[in-house]
Amino acid sequence: MNRKGIFLFLVIISVCFLSGCWSKRELTDLAFISAYSLDLTEEGNYEATVQVINPGNITSGLQGGGGGSSSPPVIVYSTVGENLSDMDALVTKKLSRTPYYAHTDLVVISDELAKKKGLPPILDELDRDIEFRTTTIVVIAKETKAKDLLTTLTGTDRVPAIKIVKTLDATEKSLGENLRVNVHELITQVTSTGKEPVLPGFTLKGDPMQGKTMNNVQSSELEAAPEADGLAMFKEGKLIDWIEGETARGTLWTLDKIKTTTVSMSWEKEKKAIAYKVMRQKTKVSATLTKGKPKIVVSTRAEGDIAEVKVPVDLTDPHVIKKIEKELEKEIKSEIEKAIQQAQKNKSDIFGFGEVVHRTDPKAWKKLEKEWKDRTFAELDVDVKVEALIRRTGLVNNSLHTTLKKEGK
């Protein structure tokens, strides 16, 4: 009897510690936010836009997206306010469901907002929000409203936010001129004294008004589409410049973020005559200090294959291969040096050279830290060393041009 009484007492007590479903939320009561954008109004207020998943239309239509439904897969709502928290509440005046940010894949910030108000006020709210994931990708809307990137319907990927994220992944892996940056990484860079942020840029090609309609995804050629476009350079949390083309790739070389890319070089007065497909690369950045003066060494090693040859070249000759490797080293070195020069001109240490000096000599860094952003980094001596290796020449040894030349055709 005593055992039964003790057991019953424990059961009753344990019930007091069970929370049950007091905080439950039904799926039908939630509005899943796939993307969140911020613009700056003429009055200097924030304009927030949320891209809400329309679940009934996500899987409808043709396989892989593209049409078949009369209504869009997402619905966009905008509101204006003086701070982000206000707008999170104000948007509920237009939504019949509670906004749910745990599945947000993308944050888009307009270049105008990034220039005038900067990143810290935005990141503070995102970091405090318990629903918002710090793995969410952040991009800058270049020469277009951030809202327009969210309202433009896309073809292959029905949800515009997914389209932008996947495009960013694809160009980072293949082109080497863009990179993924999430909220956590961005906060770390903004708060660091030895590294400035760099973010991917996206622009809108075409007519924004046409991009809002279903007609945009019901033709083989889109009237409007988001497109990856350069890297945004920041200083003290504000956008100051854009890095584009080969200079953007030089930035990724230095940051050790190149996955694969194709480097084209001139040969015998022919521009872009040989294409080199980079398969692997490794960049190491080291620092030395002499009498308190820092010097940075950037060492890059690339391995790859010959992807294309437009002129007669004997690829079976080891001396020719060695000569091509030397020219490739010059090309890659030039890209890295251009990127460093642009950063030094803007006095923005986007490469984290300051962090390298800090790790190398913490005591010396304390003396250099105060003037690092305004003077020391801009005058920093940087030595770039590149080693390029050709591992394979593809499925054929010589080019068709070489074969035809030997045959006298």
Rg (CA), the chain: 27
Task: Provide the pLDDT for residue 105.
Answer: 94
Per-residue buried b or exposed e for 115-152, using 16+ beta carbons within 10 Å of the residue's own CB:
eebbbeebbeebeebeebeeebbbbbbbebbbbbbbbb
Cα–Cα distance, 85 to 92 (Å, whole number):
12
Q: Write the CB contacts of 222 (distance below 8 Å, at least 6 apart in sequence).
A: 154, 155, 206, 211, 216
- Structural domain boundaries in the chain: 25-60+68-242, 244-408
Task: Provide the pLDDT for residue 405.
Answer: 59
Report the percentage of the chain scoring pLDDT > 70. Answer: 91
Across residues 251-280, what is the average pLDDT? 93
| pLDDT(14) > 90 | no
322-331 pLDDT per residue, tens:
999 999 999 9
The band of 403, judged by pLDDT with boundaries at 50, 70 and 90, is: low
Per-residue buried b or exposed e for 176-192, using 16+ beta carbons within 10 Å of the residue's own CB:
bbbbbbebebbbebbee
161-219 pLDDT per residue, tens:
999 999 999 999 999 999 999 999 999 999 988 899 999 999 999 888 887 878 777 77
286-323 pLDDT per residue, tens:
999 998 899 999 999 999 999 999 888 888 889 999 99
Better-predicted residue by pLDDT, 14 or 68:
14
Task: Provide the pLDDT for residue 204.
Answer: 94
CA atoms lying within 13 Å on the CB side of residue 29: 4
Across residues 87-106, what is the average pLDDT? 88
- Helix (H), strand (E) at residue 206: strand 198-206
Cα–Cα distance, 360 to 288 (Å, whole number):
7
Picking from 89, 137, 143, the residue whose alpha carbon sits closest to that of residue 114 is 143
- Helix (H), strand (E) at residue 400: helix 400-407
The band of 18, judged by pLDDT with boundaries at 50, 70 and 90, is: low
> H helices within 129-207, ranges in order?
146-151, 160-174, 183-191
| pLDDT(398) > 70 | no
| pLDDT(21) > 90 | no
SS3 of 64-114: the string is CCCCCCCCCCEEEEEEEECCHHHHHHHHHHCCCCEEECCCCCEEEEEHHHH
232-241 pLDDT per residue, tens:
999 999 999 9
Instruction: Specify whether the CB–CB gap between 273 and 267 falls below 8 A.
Output: yes
Residue at 278: amino acid letter: V
Least confident of 82-91, 102-111, 247-256, 374-383: 82-91
* The model's pTM: 0.88
Three-state secondary-structure class, residue 215: helix
209-223 pLDDT per residue, tens:
887 878 777 777 888
Q: In what order do the strands lie in the sheet with 381-392?
A: 261-267, 270-290, 293-309, 381-392
The band of 409, judged by pLDDT with boundaries at 50, 70 and 90, is: low
Under CATH, domain 244-408 is a member of which superfamily? Nutrient germinant receptor protein C, domain 3 (3.30.300.210)
Cα–Cα distance, 161 to 134 (Å, whole number):
16
Least confident of 4-18, 30-44, 73-87, 200-214: 4-18
| pLDDT(66) > 60 | no
Instruction: Specify whether the CB–CB gap between 217 and 153 falls below 8 A.
Output: yes
Hey, what are 196's tokens?
A: 């400035």
Cα–Cα distance, 379 to 373 (Å, whole number):
10
